[in-house]
Chain A
């Protein structure tokens, strides 16, 4: 966002080749600069985050008390479905691409992303997709209401908005694949001399692995929803039992995409935390090599655990045992990562500025999500928990407290570099503590609801569940307000350039090439490959 307000020409007076870059709206529509595109991605994803958040609050409003007070069940199902789709495909995934665009070229000493125009396309494709997705509320019959998993044959009963939703997801998938190709090629081909793979910063490493995951599974999702589309309109019967199709096959295909998708949404957050923790512990990351291998093993294992989302579909006993064992196995590399972070903190010299708070908050709350994941992995227990609020609690612990907290850590850590101004430490801390408290108020009681047997995606529920639902709803509104606070009191001031001027390296313990350029980062960085020291963290000429 550095370049949001000051004219970019201010920063690169010695720029000959690109002296005539577009200004005004053209600068954004025709953007090819990785920093501008990163900014666009981040603004887009935060907008989608707010829209998805409003939908979440509509859900919690209806569930504040038993009985239908505000919305009818059709609309309620649209809210749950669209909340999931918007948060996954509109908020979390593009936000990490925004981080990647901003940081990867700066971290590896590259001038820009490999394919600048494809980068532009992959961002601008998101706009029509998002309009179509959000606009589906205004189509006849309302938005898709089959759940974000879009299980057949319920999808076959949906109105025309389902087709809009499928098309939107196709476009977002194409955008993700382009983004991934760009990231892989950038990382593999454009590293500065001396930046070997095993010297790369962890954020770049996790994104490299994530990008491969994306390329592997986005086409699988596209296949599944295309078959849904032809079942709906062209009388095929891939998943339609009325014509001999198999609805369970849809679930297998969907979750073959869906489980790696979970790691797509969490690995870049692992990367951010792996950089923030050492910076504020003033100590090198413990077990860098094992972190890389753990990340890779998580990625590989993520392909062989998908059916743990389907224990209740009635698979054979051997299938259930296989997926149970494989799922439990994932906890080993995930545990290794947590232990590495703790060992990095151990005997460090820690300070707790806002990025570190978010990172420690991430480790704490994400690990709780890991524990419930371990509990859910056990098939006999999962029979009780499947499709209850326990699962809702579990995946919000790993996706909100995981991905989102990781992103906030990244924002506070890198925004001085982006904007050239420091955020207010007090405001950052208010944002963190409010989010942490309200997050737990919202989602912790959901474990109890699930254990006691409350199914998810219910517009109304037995009276016995009333109190915990009320607490969760209050927490949700608090959490929502905390994010509005972040927007108005942290993001807007930063965009207006308000705040202390940021030094080139605002964090004493931060290492890496992004801290070798001034704050705000000039419009073009590393136009010629820098000469690096032995650790590839400093420019020496």
Chain B
């Protein structure tokens, strides 16, 4: 069966390559269509309508579009009915004499006012959807989508899965197929390595930004298209009502690989999503520091400086002198205490009702050990003492 399909597919492709104008008229369209099937959640073969909506907004957009098609069809029939009637009847060749009228205030007021009223009705019909589309408040999950030339970066910022981050790139085989001029597959140019995963029936807010040029994050089935602008953040939202795979592509010209940075969203049931988040967290943890590792002095101090600058320097200052009520670390008795635990416990549990925050759980054991080692061996402090992650683990147990 598979072989048959393959043969049919390659045969169809070969035919497509040789298609001439005549062959097209002779049923070329059918031949071309054999090579590909509708993609659920993506484009349909010879689709002539919006992709089936899976959010309330996309449904409203489709209905508004149908409404507009009806309005336009009525106007079309009326206006061109008059025109073609006139073209048939009011011609010189059938002996029609020209009338002499060339103005009529009444008629002109009528055909100004009637379109005006139609336009007001259209505006009123669309307003509710515009307001709903722009309402990004109270999301269940917030994800930042960053456009890069030419891939998408996703950061789960708030909600279940917070902290998950990955980059989503076009499947490399697809780009090669394109280059060779041999496209294949229902998800041609839409297949990515890491799809975005979201839960069903939850309000997902997508914050867009970009790293280089403007991109646009679009998923037609969700009725979402939002430019991702470097230096700025914008947002949009969707609440998918069905599980499954949904596809979109970058919609703002972003350079040569513009056509090759698709968007693939997997909508999972709540249970599956929770399981996916747990898997991701496990994978993240596996990548994290091993608290059993024994570090050498230079590496630990170098790591510690980064942690210090990122977390501690805002209060204790980069030179360790502190400011106002914030204690100086440079020359501090706690820092210079030969008992390592004095400082470790301070950092883990905080002091003065959180004026010095408790860092346990916010930083890893390795990060805490590194930061402490850095302070013990910087500025005027020359203790030569190293604090290993294992020391922090031991202190946590106390």
Contact = CB atoms under 8 A, between A and B. Distances in A.
Interface string A257-292: 000000000000000000000000111111111100
A462 B190 contact: yes
A157 interface: yes
A339 interface: yes
Given A157-B213, A371-B76, A378-B122, A339 B253 contact: no
Interface in B296-338: none
B43 A465 contact: yes
Contact of A312 (B97, B122, B251, B258): B251
A375 B72 contact: yes
B213 A66 contact: no
B83 A342 contact: yes
Interface in B270-292: none
Given A342-B79, A349-B97, A467-B29, A474 B21 contact: yes
A474 B214 contact: no
B226 interface: yes
A69 to B, nearest CB: 5
Contacts of A245: 231
B102 interface: yes
A383 B223 contact: yes
A155 B68 CA distance: 37
B115 A331 contact: yes
B135 to A, nearest CB: 8
A448 B102 contact: no
Given A335-B111, A465-B43, A371 B75 contact: yes
B343 interface: no
A287 B108 contact: yes
Nearest to B30: A467
A460 B226 contact: no
A348 B83 contact: no
Contacts of B190: 462
Contacts of A363: 83
Contacts of A316: 134
B92 interface: yes
A463 B185 CA distance: 8
B186 A463 contact: yes
Nearest to A474: B21
B382 interface: no
B98 A77 contact: no
A47 interface: no
A317 B130 CA distance: 7
Interface string B46-68: 11111100000110110011001
A461 B231 contact: no
Contacts of A1: none
Q: Chain B interface residue count: which class?
A: 35 or more
Contact of B83 (A65, A364, A380): A364
A380 B68 CA distance: 12
Contacts of A320: 130, 134
A159 interface: no
B241 interface: no
B178 A154 contact: no
Contacts of B83: 342, 345, 360, 363-364
A194 interface: no
B207 to A, nearest CB: 10
B87 A331 contact: no
A464 B43 contact: yes
A467 B32 contact: yes
A453 interface: yes
A453 B253 contact: no
A282 B129 CA distance: 48
Nearest to B19: A470
B112 A332 contact: yes
A146 interface: yes
Contacts of B96: 347-350
A332 B257 CA distance: 41
Given A67-B177, A347-B96, A349-B98, A77 B43 contact: no
B166 interface: no
A289 B256 CA distance: 50
B138 interface: no
B256 A77 contact: yes
Nearest to B36: A463
A324 interface: yes
Q: Chain A interface residue count: which class?
A: 35 or more
B254 to A, nearest CB: 7
Interface stretch (A170-178, A201-209, A384-392, A495-503): A384-392
Interface of B is mostly: mixed
Contacts of B123: 324-325, 328
Interface in A101-152: 145-147, 151
B214 A287 contact: no
A484 interface: no
A462 B68 contact: no
B293 interface: no
B256 to A, nearest CB: 4
B87 to A, nearest CB: 7
Residue of A69, A317, A364, A384 ringed by the most chain B CB atoms within 10 A? A384
Nearest to B102: A284
A425 interface: no
B86 A380 contact: no
Contact of B234 (A68, A74, A313): A313
Interface in B72-119: 72, 75-76, 79-80, 82-83, 86-87, 90-93, 96-104, 107-108, 111-112, 115-116, 119
B115 A455 contact: no
Nearest to B61: A380
A317 B236 CA distance: 12
Contact of A375 (B45, B65, B99): B65
Residue of B51, B90, B214, B253 ringed by the most chain A CB atoms within 10 A? B253
A384 B103 contact: no
A335 B76 CA distance: 12
Contact of A464 (B36, B68, B229, B234): B36
Interface in A310-326: 312-314, 316-317, 320-321, 324-325
Interface in A345-404: 345-352, 360, 363-364, 367-368, 371, 374-375, 378-381, 383-384, 386-388
A465 B189 CA distance: 12
Given A328-B123, A345-B86, A470 B50 contact: no
A360 B111 contact: no
B188 A463 contact: yes
Contact of B107 (A67, A343, A384): A343
A351 B91 contact: yes
Given A321-B130, A464-B44, A387 B251 contact: yes
A456 to B, nearest CB: 8
A438 to B, nearest CB: 12
Given A345-B87, A345-B90, A451-B49, A386 B225 contact: yes
B159 to A, nearest CB: 21
A336 B104 CA distance: 13
Contact of B38 (A448, A461, A464): A464
Residue of B91, B223, B231 ringed by the most chain A CB atoms within 10 A? B231
A312 B213 contact: no
A247 B36 contact: no
B212 A153 contact: yes
A350 B45 CA distance: 45
Given A67-B182, A321-B130, A379-B126, A73 B259 contact: yes
Contacts of A349: 90-92, 96-98
A352 B178 CA distance: 49
Given A383-B133, A467-B45, 20 more contacts: A67-B182, A73-B256, A245-B231, A283-B98, A312-B251, A314-B227, A328-B122, A342-B83, A350-B96, A367-B79, A371-B75, A374-B68, A379-B126, A384-B223, A448-B46, A452-B44, A460-B259, A462-B189, A464-B45, A467-B29
12 contacts: A67-B182, A151-B213, A241-B229, A281-B90, A288-B103, A312-B216, A331-B115, A348-B96, A349-B98, A351-B93, A352-B91, A461-B189
| 4 shortest interchain CB distances as A-B pairs | A241-B231, A452-B47, A314-B234, A463-B36
